[in-house]
Structure 1
Amino acid sequence: MAEKKFPKDFVWGSATASYQVEGSPLADGAGPSIWHRFSHTPGTTHDGETGDVACDHYNRYKEDIKLMKSLGLKGYRFSISWSRIFPNGKGKINEKGVDFYNKVIDELLKEDITPFVTIYHWDLPAALQDIGGWTNRDIACWFGDYADYLFQ
């Protein structure tokens, strides 16, 4: 059998989702997401587990990124929590949430790890779910505003 090799430009990395690793889902002005609400509903998770602490990436991102570096990872795909940026899903921006993701990106770049950002990983702000969520036609504009803000 011939030896197979990855292309030279292949990026070895890791991936996470905000609610699964960050913890502190309501810290610094963030709003609840549908996952936060779901996991806090009695009977929905094993032993009442929630993402309140998770891997505590919100507080330990520097340590986590150093671990990524030590493993030789060149990329990190992570998601941004919409409700950490827009606590109500739209309207007022939570600057502390923006600062968190900027610090994560800066730290990744400092360690020569390419950030790959997912802007939505199934964690809709609960406030938007309360007014119809993805069945509300206005969500296209709300998501557009969120995406536009992130890309700016």
Structure 2
Amino acid sequence: MAVLSESRASLRFFGDDLDPDQLTGLLGCPPTKSERKGEEIVAKVTGQRRIARSGGWRLQAERREPGDFDAQISEILDQLTEDMDVWRDITARYRADIFCGLFMKEGNEGISLSNETLERLAVRGLKIDFDIYDRSDD
């Protein structure tokens, strides 16, 4: 199995009553992107406008080529609080996950997660959401 060509990862929280400033205070790090429910959002590239259906808070890791999901999760979590009471509270109140985009250039690329990474996600109540993109010609 070939090494995954590229990976992208971000921590995401969503909820109708999500206050990005409050979440930032609890986690100890500003988000890459956030919005409150009802806020107008303007797309950077297209300029299209939309209204946020829910509150959101996202912290992105740097893109990795080749893919290195373990390093991306560490990059994200190392910036945030280690207080597990805070994590239990916010993951109970909001939809929370680590979103991962996996980009393949060949048909049989793969990636694995270490036990340490899986444990760090589990104790925080975070699930993993994968989108897998196949750029191969097959």
Query: Structure 1-normalised TM-score?
Result: 0.34
Asked which structure has the greater RCO (Cα within 8 Å, sep 6+), the reply is: 2
Bigger strand share: 2
Bigger helix share: 1
Query: Structure 2-normalised TM-score?
Result: 0.36
